[in-house]
Amino acid sequence: MTSSADATPAGRGAQAPRLAVEDLSITFGRTQVLHDVAFDVRPGEIHALVGQNGSGKSTVAKILTGLYSPDAGSRVSVDGHALSLPVRPDEARSRGVAVVHQSLGLVKDATVLENARVGRLTGSRFLRRIDWKAEAAATEAVFERLGRRIPLDVPVGSLREDERATVAIARALQDISPGTGLIIFDESTRSLGRDALEQFFAMLDGVVATGTAALLITHRLEEVVDAADRVTVLRDGRAVVAGREVAGLDKPGLASLMLGRNAADLEEREPAHVRTEEKPVEVRRLTGLRVRDVSFDVRPGEVLGLTGLGGSGYDDVPYLLTGVSAATEGTVSLPRGPVRVKKLSPAKAVDAGMALVPEGREHAGLAVAMTVAENIAFPQTAPRAGVLPLAAHAERTRAEEWIEKLDVRPPLPHAVVGNLSGGNQQKVLLAKWLATDPDLLVLHEPTQAVDVGARQIIVAAVRAAAAEGRAVVVAGSDENEIALLCDRVLVFSDGVVREELTGEIMPQDVVSAIYTDAPRSRLRERSAAAG
Amino acid sequence: MSEQSSATAVAPPGKPDPAPAPARSPHSGAGWFAARFAVIGVWLLLAVLYGVLRPETFLTAGSFKVVFGSQQALVFLTAALLCTIVVGEFVDMSVASNFGLAAVLVTVLNVQHEWGVWSAALAAVVASTAVGFVNGWLVVKMGVNTIVVTLGMGTFLLGVSLWLTDLMPVSGLPSDFKMIALQQVAGLPISFFYGLALMLGFAYVLQVTPLGRNLRFVGENREVARLAGVRVTRVRWGAFTTAGLIAGLGGVISAAATGGFDPNSSQAYLLPIFAATFLGTAILQPGRFNPMGTWIAVYFLATGVLGLQLLGATSWVSSVFYGGVLVLAVTLSTRLHQRAR
C-alpha cells in the first residue's frame, strides 16, 4: 500500500471520490435517454447501479467503457482528474479503471494465461516475441493477491464457474495497484450460479478491503441488498436515488424504488389451481444426458419446479422431454396420448401438446431479426411447410392479442424483435409458445436477465397458463423465481430427484434444499476491515 | 448520394440506437422511402443522364433490348445464389461453374455425342442438380466449411467443363432448340420472362408462404427453427440442391440462346452475381436479401455498364463497375442492416 490517503481502507474521508459522474446526459436522435445522472463511488466500497431494462443503466455502462459519447456538459472524473469524453479506454486504464464485461467477457477456447494477458502482452525488444514466462509470473502474482491458484495453461472453457470469475477479476485487477483504482462490473455476474456468486463476492470483498472501489451494474436485487455498500437507482434515465446506504434496505423496498410504485405484492404468489380430479401428465423413467431414470407427475393447473446444483441434471429435463436433446429412455403421458421420448423430434413434441420455452432467447428462443408477429406465429407456421399463402391477417391479430396480454412494448406486431428490450423479448418468447395452446408447458429459466416489471408479468402469465388447466414444468436455478412460480419443487442431485418440497415454499427452503451440505450464507460476508 | 441521405434520416451518425428502441412508426418518412427506392431512383437518373449524353445511341429500342434481353444468365445465377444465402449459408461459390457445366453438357451431348437435344438438356439439368446435392451433403451432413467446399467444387467443375470441350468453345445446338430462349414475346426474348417468373415465384414463396417463413427462420437462427419443428438439415440440403437445379436450368437456357457455350466464360459471371445479390439488399427490403431487389439490381448494373460503354469505355469498364458496385453495395447493405436493428 502506498502512503497516500487512498490507502485508508474504506476511507470515508474528504478526499476526492474514486469515480465521480456529474450531469451525465445522452441524447439519441430526439430522445434524451439520460438526464443529468450524477453519483460517486468512494474508495473501498461496492457501489451498485441498478434499474429496470430501459432505465439507462446499460447506457451508463457503455459511456463509462467508451462505447457511447455523452452530451456536452457531462463530466466523469477519477480521483479528481476529469476524463476526456468520450471515455478513452487507454486513458481510463492508466487512471486505474478496469472493466469486467457482461458474463465475464472471457474467450472459452483460449487459455487462462492468454485470457488474463490479452491486450497487455509485451513483445521482446528485437524479435517482438512474447516472453510467456514473464507473462505467467505476472499473472501468478495477481492470482496470489486474490489468494487463489488456477492452472494457467488450460482453456477457460474447462474451468468451473467460480474459477472463471476469478480469472475475470484477476484480469481487471492486474492493472490496479493495491489500494487504488476502480473495477466496473457490467452485468458480469449474470451467468454465475449461487456457489460461484458467493465465491465471487468473497474475492471482491477482499479486493475492496484494500481500498479499491467496485461499481456493480446488476439485475439481481439480492446482490445489492446483500453485497453492496451503497446503491444508485436509475429510472427512466434519471438517478432517482444516488448513493443511498444499502443498510436497512430490503428487496421489496429496492424493487419499488426501481419501479416507481409500491411493489409490496410483487413477491406474492397466486393460490394454486391444481385440478386433482383430472389425470396428471406422467413422466416415467426419463433417462438421457445427466438424468438417470427420473419419474414424476404434474397435474393440470400445477406448476412444478425442478432445481438443483449445476450438473445435477435438472436443467436437462426440459430438453429431453421435448425431443430437443436425445433421450435414451422414457415416456410422457399427455391428454393427447402417450409419447416415447426416445427418438422424439421437436416437431412431434409440439404435435403431442408440449411446448418448450428454452433458456437463452437469442440462441434458441427467438429470431431477433424477424418481427414480433412472425416470431409468435412461427410454431404454427413451421410444421406444414406448404406454398399456400400464410394467413397474414390472422397472424397479425393473434400477435396483437398476445402483445396486449403480456404488455409487450412497443405494442407493434411488425416491430423487429431485436429492437425490444430483454424483458419484452422474453415476453414475446413466452407468447410464442403459449400461442400453441400446449397441454404441457416446459420452461427453462423463464425470467433470467429480465427486469422486475417484466418478471412480474411473466410470472403472472405462467401462473395464468396453469390456471387454464395446463401442466407446467419450470427448471431454474434462481430460488426466488422458483419460490414465486412453483406449487411443488423437485430438487435434483446426480441425475435423480433427491428431495420434494411442497406447501408454502420460500426462497430459503429452495436454497437449503439445493445446498444441503452448505447452508446458505449472505452473498458477502463483509470483512472486518471494511466495516 | 441519396442512399447516404436516407441513412442519415433514419438515425444520426455517430450515435447508435439506444438499447430500448423508441417507438417510431416504421412506415413513414423520407428515410423509410429512400431506404427502399433510392437505388431505383439512381437507376432512373442514370438512364436520364445517359439519355442526355448519348441520345442517339442510348435512347433506342436496341439498347433497351440489350439491357433487358441479355441478363437472363445473371438472373438465374443470382436466384441460385439466393437459395443458399436465404438459409444462412454464406455463399455458394460453385453456382457459376455449375451453370457452365450444364451449358457445356447440353451442347457436348447433343453435338458431339448425338443425343437428342431434349434428353441432353435433361441430363445437363440433372447433373447440375446432383452437384448441388453433393455440395449440400458435404456442407450439411459432413459439416465442411461452405466456402471451401463450393470454391473447390467450382474450380473442379470448371476443369471438368474444359476437359469435356477440349478447352474450346462449343456450339452447334439445333436452331429450333434456340427458340426456347429466343422466342420473341412483346419485343423481348422469352427467357427474360423466365427470369422474371422465377424471381417473382421466389419472392412469393419467401414473402407469404410457410415454406418461405421456414427458410428465413433457418437463415436467421437454426436452433430456433429446429425447436419449432423445422427439419433444418433437410431445408439446408434442399437449398443447395435447388441452387444446383436453378443454375442448371440457367445454363441450358443460356446455351440455347447462343447455340453453344465457352466454358471459360462462366467465371466472368462470378463477380456480377455477387454485385447484384448484395446490391439487392439495398432495394425494396433494406438490409435483407430479397429476390425482386436482386432482379432490379441485375438490370441496374446492366444499364450502368451499357451506358459507360456507349460513352466510349471499353471492356475494362465492366470490371470496374461490377467490382466497385460490389464493394459499395456490401458497405451499404451492412449499414442498412445496422440501422434496421
A530 touches chain B (CB under 8 A): no
Q: Residue B237's CB: how many other CB atoms inside 10 A?
A: 20
How big is the CA angle at B203 (ends B200 and B206), to the nearest 5 degrees? 150
Q: Residue A243's CB: how many other CB atoms inside 10 A?
A: 17
Cβ B278 vs Cβ B296: under 8 Å: no
Cβ A303 vs Cβ A463: under 8 Å: yes
Chain-centre distance for alpha carbon B233: 24
Contacts with A378 from chain B: Cβ below 8 Å: 213, 217, 224, 228
pTM score, whole prediction: 0.73
Of the partner residues B12, B14, B21, the one whose CB lies closest to the CB of residue A419: B21
Class of domain A17-267: alpha beta
HSE-up of A212 (CA within 13 Å, CB side)? 29
| DSSP character at residue A280 | P
Count of residues for chain B? 341
Which class for B328: exposed (0-12), middle (13-18), buried (19 or more C-beta within 10 A)?
A: middle
CATH 1.10.287 fits B34-340, yes or no: no
A51 touches chain B (CB under 8 A): no
Among A30, A234, A387, A417, pick the best mutation site for testing chain B contact (most B Cβ within 10 A).
A387
- Alpha-carbon distance B44 to nearest alpha carbon in chain A (angstroms): 31
The parts of chain A modelled with pLDDT lower than 70 are 1-15, 29-30, 53-54, 103, 191, 260-272, 515-522, 526-531
Chain-centre distance for alpha carbon A352: 32
Of the partner residues A346, A363, A386, the one whose CB lies closest to the CB of residue B209: A386
- Whether residues B210 and A382 touch (CB distance < 8 A) is answered with yes
Contacts with B209 from chain A: Cβ below 8 Å: 386-390
- Whether residues A385 and B12 touch (CB distance < 8 A) is answered with no
Contacts with B19 from chain A: Cβ below 8 Å: 53-54, 58-59, 421
- Band (pLDDT 50/70/90 cuts) for residue B2 is very low
Contacts with B227 from chain A: Cβ below 8 Å: 322, 324, 346, 356, 358, 364
Reduce the DSSP state of residue A56 to 3 states and report it: coil
Of the partner residues A356, A363, A381, the one whose CB lies closest to the CB of residue B213: A381
Residue B134: predicted pLDDT: 96
| DSSP character at residue B268 | G
Closest to B64 in 3D by CA, of B51, B79, B77, B82 = B51
For B225, which residue in chain A has the nearest alpha carbon?
Answer: A382
Residue range B304-316: average pLDDT? 84
A118 touches chain B (CB under 8 A): no
- Whether residues B209 and A364 touch (CB distance < 8 A) is answered with no
Which of A216-225, B16-25, B31-40, B64-73 is least confident?
B16-25
One-letter-per-residue 3-state SS of A159-212: CCHHHHHHHHHHHHHCCCCCCCCEEEEECCCCCCCHHHHHHHHHHHHHHHHCCC
Residue A440: predicted pLDDT: 93
The grid coordinates of residue A102 equal 457482461
Of the partner residues B15, B19, B216, the one whose CB lies closest to the CB of residue A54: B19
In sequence order, the β-bridge partners of residue A82 are A77
Mean pLDDT of chain B: 85
Among A381, A395, A443, pick the best mutation site for testing chain B contact (most B Cβ within 10 A).
A381
Among B220, B221, B224, pick the best mutation site for testing chain A contact (most A Cβ within 10 A).
B224
The grid coordinates of residue B182 equal 429466343
- Whether residues A389 and B209 touch (CB distance < 8 A) is answered with yes
For A368, which residue in chain B has the nearest alpha carbon?
Answer: B220
Domain A281-382+389-514 fold: Rossmann fold (3.40.50)
B13 touches chain A (CB under 8 A): no
A502 touches chain B (CB under 8 A): no
Encode pLDDT of B262-296 as tens digits: 998 888 898 899 999 988 988 888 878 999 999 99
Reduce the DSSP state of residue A129 to 3 states and report it: coil
Residue A295: predicted pLDDT: 92
- Band (pLDDT 50/70/90 cuts) for residue B28 is low
- From CA B283, how far away is CA B281, in angstroms rounded? 6
Asked if the model's pLDDT at residue B148 lies above 80, the reply is yes
- Whether residues B23 and A378 touch (CB distance < 8 A) is answered with no
CATH 3.40.50.300 in chain A: give the residue spans: 17-267, 281-382+389-514
HSE-up of A162 (CA within 13 Å, CB side)? 15
Of the partner residues B18, B23, B214, the one whose CB lies closest to the CB of residue A28: B18
Complex prediction ipTM: 0.79
| Distant-in-sequence, close-in-space partners of A224: CB < 8 Å, separation ≥ 6 | A48, A50, A216, A218, A231, A246, A249, A254
* Phi, psi values for residue A21, rounded to 5°: -115, 125
Of the partner residues B12, B20, B214, the one whose CB lies closest to the CB of residue A385: B214
Cβ B140 vs Cβ B286: under 8 Å: no
Q: Where are the alpha helices (DSSP H) in B54-116?
A: 55-58, 61-69, 72-86, 95-107
B14 touches chain A (CB under 8 A): yes
Percent of chain B with pLDDT over 70: 89
Cis peptide before A446 (omega within 30 of 0): no
Q: Residue A222's CB: how many other CB atoms inside 10 A?
A: 18
A531 touches chain B (CB under 8 A): no
Reduce the DSSP state of residue A26 to 3 states and report it: strand
A391 touches chain B (CB under 8 A): no
Helix pair A422-434, A392-405: axis angle to 10 deg: 120
Which of B22-36, B225-239, B314-328 is least confident?
B22-36
Encode pLDDT of B176-185 as tens digits: 898 888 888 8
